[in-house]
Chains A and B, each alone.
Chain A
C-alpha cells in the first residue's frame, strides 16, 4: 500500500543554487544564448512577461483546460473503478480500454483528438485521457486491497452499505487515491502542454512555446517552461493539501 513519505526527500536550497550555478557557468562557457540561455536572462525575461496581460491570459487558458481535464478524469476514474469493483463484467469490459489508453502515445492521441475536438479544447481531452487510467487503476487496486477481515467485521455488525463504503473503503482507498492524484497531476501538465504545442490552440501556453521554437527565442522557451513548472508544482501542492485535509477530516471523525 502506498505510504505518505515524510521528511528527508525535500529539495534543499543549496542544491538548487548549485544547479543554477552550473547552468550559469555552462551558458557563459558556451557564450551563445540561442543554444543555452543563462538563468539570469531567463529570470529577466520571466519578469518582463509577468507584467503583460497575454502572459496571464495564456496561463488562465491552459490552467483552466488542463485542470478541467484532470478533475473530470479523477471523477470518471473513481466512478468507473467503483463500478468496476462492484460489477466484474464491467471491469472486464473497461480493463482493455484502460490498457489501450495507457499504451497509446500522447502524439497519436493529439492527432486523433484534433479530428473530433476543436484545438482550443484539446488539452482538456488529452489531460483527461492521460490521467483517467492512472486514477482508475490505482482506485481499483485500492478497493481490491481492502482488508477482507474488516469487510467481514462490517458483515457481522450489519453495517449499512453506505457506511461501510464511507468508513472502510474510502479510508482504505484514500492512500491509493492520493498516489494517483500525485502522479496524475504531474502527467496532466506534461501531456496537456505537449498537446497544445502540437495543436497550437490560440492563446495557450503551448502556443507560446511553439512560437519560442519558431523564432528560436530560447529565453522565452525557458521562461515559459519555468512558468509551467511553477504552475504545475503549485497546482499539485494545493490539490494535495486539499486531499490531506480530507484525509485528516476522515481520520478525526
Chain B
C-alpha cells in the first residue's frame, strides 16, 4: 500500500521543523529523502512511526503497519550480545539463520557472543542495521544507516542490505546519493 503525507506541519515550541510537507512513497519500493542536516528528516520519520504527533496535516497508508527502524543512534542493549540484540526483535528467527546473516555483515567469530559494549562503533552500527533488517516489518525506516562505516565495509553492507530489502517498503534518510543508488531507491526526494 502506498503512503501519503499531506501538508505535514510540526513545530517544537515556536521553532517550526516541518512546514506543509507533502510526499508519496510507493509500497514495495525503496524511497529516499536527501536533505541537509536540521531540515527535519528525523522528525519526519518519528512522526511516521508514531513516536510524535503532527501539529496538522494528514498521513495515510501507515495504519496497522509493522515498523522496523535503524535509528540514527545504535540503540542497542549494551549488556546483551550482538546475537541477543538482534533476536530480541525477531525471536522467531533461528540462531543459525541470524548468525549466518551476521557473518554476511562481517560480524562473525568473537563478535557473536560478546556484549555489544565491547564491539567497535562500526560493528555496533552493523548490529543495529541487521536488527532492523531481520525484524518482521511492513515498512522499514533507515536514518543514516551506514554512518560510521569505513568505505570497504560500507560497500559490502550496502550490497547485503539491498539483498535483504529488495521488494519491501523502505524509507532511507541520507546525505549520500551513493547510498540511495546502492539500495536501488526508486524515488529520491532531494531537498537542498
Contacts of B81 in A (CB 8 A): 251-253
The chain B residue with its CB closest to the CB of A151 is B75
Which of A147, A155, A158, A171 lies in contact with B80, CB distance below 8 A? A171
Interface residues of B in 132-149 (CB under 8 A from A): 135
The chain B residue with its CB closest to the CB of A247 is B79
- A163, A251, A252 — most chain B CB neighbours (10 Å): A251
Contacts of A174 in B (CB 8 A): 79
The chain A residue with its CB closest to the CB of B67 is A156
Interface residues of A in 158-180 (CB under 8 A from B): 158-159, 163, 167-168, 171-172, 174
CA of A167 to CA of B80, assembled, Å = 8
CA of A247 to CA of B135, assembled, Å = 26
Contact between chains at A252 and B135 (CB < 8 Å): no
Which of B75, B88, B89 lies in contact with A149, CB distance below 8 A? B75
Asked if B122 is at the interface of the complex by the 8 Å CB criterion, the answer is no
Contact between chains at A155 and B75 (CB < 8 Å): no
Asked if A92 is at the interface of the complex by the 8 Å CB criterion, the answer is no
CA of A150 to CA of B77, assembled, Å = 7
Contact between chains at B77 and A156 (CB < 8 Å): no
Interface string of B55-96 (1 = CB under 8 A from A): 000000000001111010101011111001000110100000
Total A-B residue contacts, Cβ distance less than 8 Å: 53
Contact between chains at A163 and B88 (CB < 8 Å): yes
CA of A155 to CA of B46, assembled, Å = 12
CA of A191 to CA of B111, assembled, Å = 46
How many interface residues does A have (CB within 8 Å)? 21
Contact between chains at B115 and A153 (CB < 8 Å): no
Cβ of A15 to closest chain B Cβ, rounded Å? 33
CA of A159 to CA of B149, assembled, Å = 28
Interface string of A212-253 (1 = CB under 8 A from B): 000000000000000000000000000000000001001111
Asked if B172 is at the interface of the complex by the 8 Å CB criterion, the answer is no
Given contacts A167-B88, A251-B79, A253-B80, 13 further A-B contacts (CB under 8 A): A147-B75, A149-B75, A156-B67, A157-B68, A157-B89, A163-B88, A167-B80, A168-B77, A171-B77, A171-B78, A171-B79, A250-B80, A252-B84
Can you offer 18 A-B residue contacts whose CB atoms are under 8 A?
A150-B75, A152-B51, A153-B71, A153-B75, A157-B67, A157-B89, A158-B66, A158-B67, A159-B88, A159-B89, A167-B77, A167-B84, A168-B77, A247-B79, A251-B79, A252-B81, A253-B80, A253-B81
